[in-house]
Chains A and B, each alone.
Chain A
């Protein structure tokens, strides 16, 4: 177990290193620099600025310097947001995104799992068909459409909910629904098919033959087996909700990490682009490890090695 975690962490560090290197060079391939767009900058001033941030040195030296700092946990200073280190910005913005994404994951699991299970147990009945229709339709709507349509109907037309920011609990409603619609429907579909699979298993028949109640056979014997595919999906889901929130954060003008990243690219804020990418990559890697460990706890057949 410990050996496995160490192995995964080493693998994760390698991945993060590769991502960092790739991002660094891709980013520097983009023509232009952080100071080109600003007007009334004399060549001298620009050179001075570039010298200040080390951008005048050869690319490879810049790379080495950056990676050296990264090893100490220093991701540099934002070029555009004067006076803020990248660590500060991530520390401020990530909790916003994480809270939103975490809520959305919670909602998707809490709704998707029961919906899928109910559909499986009512296979072929009206309720099953209703759930299938809704979940199939739900995975066909991109989140930006859900959010814009909701914004139009709920805030513009009916004026029920605030349309921007995250100031009140009510303002969480629309972003969370927009973020969780797709995963909820996806989990419901996943859960339905895995539940149907489990219901047909011999051990469910064994449980029935023992005289176990239907309720207990569902909750004890079926659920734990059927939820395994959902657990596998949770890793990528957590990742995609963090990244999916780019668009949601843009639409609802939420001051999250995704918003920060999207606006950092056009302004060539190199340290910030690097910082967010590496941070998100690490986050995804950690989430995947956590999910794998959770999986091994639920399914004793899985040996972590």
Chain B
């Protein structure tokens, strides 16, 4: 291993449905170092959650990795059996889901569910597990842990439940925490609290975080690197600064234009991205974003663009940059 915690190489993943093959991931490569925070941004159906789930072997039964490698912490996830996967899940990688309302089993107490996560891996006694559960609740900022442990999920608020989910995820001190839209289902004020909590925990525990969201605003403050996904492809990848200050892909630019900016004094209208996301049953031949792109060229509809690198860790897939190179070469020829 080259010291990377996550190393996904050219992963292609499809869901085989009765209507046909849905190509959810199309040549996705992602690298993460230990302790790194990676944001994956994209709209629904762009493949951001699928990428994360495939890392945990949690894709639905009809989802198969067709090509590529998925490496995590020295394991070849794509080659592992369900039984081997189970030893990693919750121990080395954990996940928190979008909707804390439905992610906890309604018929068991909070304590029961945290203790279960503690006891699945390792051989803690019931009393030790209970103590650890209380400690975890303290860690995620829930007061009166003893009392909370005896409560049922429906007795807690959404923000509280998400904290419980985080406590479950942290039970075995994983190396990587996947947060799948952890704040989408929460109130705005609670969102900020949860993000702050995750930031704190990252400082304290030093684990890597893969933060999946459709909201660029959420990743801005937290992430080291950001991958922008569209239609099962990473269209742009770079450091947070690169993405925010020097976006190279038209889709990234569009996303940035659609964030409200409160600090600007002048009135600036939000610019939506027009059009519909692609149908992954019949993915277009060329650049998937072409039909919605303002700068679309003839080539974009015909051929998939390749990577153009702009630095060691910043690349985008867009014909516009090839055009620039092409024109400069033509100029040179003359």
Q: Is A206 an interface residue (CB 8 A)?
A: yes
**In the complex the two chains form, is B99's CB within 8 Å of A209's CB?**
no
- C-alpha gap A213/B165 in the complex (Å): 19
**In the complex the two chains form, is A207's CB within 8 Å of B91's CB?**
no
**In the complex the two chains form, is B154's CB within 8 Å of A209's CB?**
no
Q: Which of A213, A298, A301 touches B154 (beta carbons < 8 Å)?
A: A301
The interface size of chain B toward A, counting residues with CB under 8 Å, comes to: 29
Q: Is A283 an interface residue (CB 8 A)?
A: no
Q: Which of A206, A211, A214, A225 touches B107 (beta carbons < 8 Å)?
A: A225
Q: Which of B82, B99, B103, B152 touches A300 (beta carbons < 8 Å)?
A: B152
Q: Give the chain B neighbours of A159 by CB distance below 8 A.
A: none
Q: Known: A209-B58, A210-B120, A301-B152. Is A221-B94 also a contact (CB below 8 A)?
A: no
- C-alpha gap A210/B171 in the complex (Å): 9
The secondary structure that dominates the A interface is helix
Could you count the A-B residue pairs with CB atoms below 8 Å apart for me: how many are there?
70
Of all chain B residues, the one with the shortest Cβ separation from A206 is B103
Q: Give the chain B neighbours of A213 by CB distance below 8 A.
A: 86
**In the complex the two chains form, is B105's CB within 8 Å of A225's CB?**
yes
Q: Is A99 an interface residue (CB 8 A)?
A: no
**In the complex the two chains form, is A202's CB within 8 Å of B99's CB?**
yes
Smallest Cβ distance from A225 to chain B, in angstroms?
A: 6
Q: Give the chain B neighbours of A203 by CB distance below 8 A.
A: 102-106
**In the complex the two chains form, is A211's CB within 8 Å of B99's CB?**
no
Q: Which of A206, A224, A298 touches B165 (beta carbons < 8 Å)?
A: A206
The A193-214 residues at the B interface (CB cut-off 8 A) are 201-203, 205-214
* Per-position 1/0 for B145-164, Cβ under 8 A of A: 00000001010000000000
* Per-position 1/0 for B102-120, Cβ under 8 A of A: 1111111000000011001
**In the complex the two chains form, is B89's CB within 8 Å of A209's CB?**
yes
Q: Known: A202-B99, A210-B120. Is A299-B90 also a contact (CB below 8 A)?
A: no
Q: Which of B86, B102, B105, B152 touches A211 (beta carbons < 8 Å)?
A: B86
- C-alpha gap A300/B87 in the complex (Å): 31
Q: Is B97 an interface residue (CB 8 A)?
A: yes
**Besides the contacts A207-B105, A209-B89, A210-B171, what 10 more A-B pairs have beta carbons closer than 8 Å?**
A203-B105, A205-B58, A205-B103, A209-B90, A209-B94, A210-B120, A211-B91, A220-B116, A225-B106, A225-B107
Nearest 7 CB-CB pairings of A with B:
A211-B90, A211-B89, A202-B102, A210-B90, A203-B105, A202-B103, A300-B152
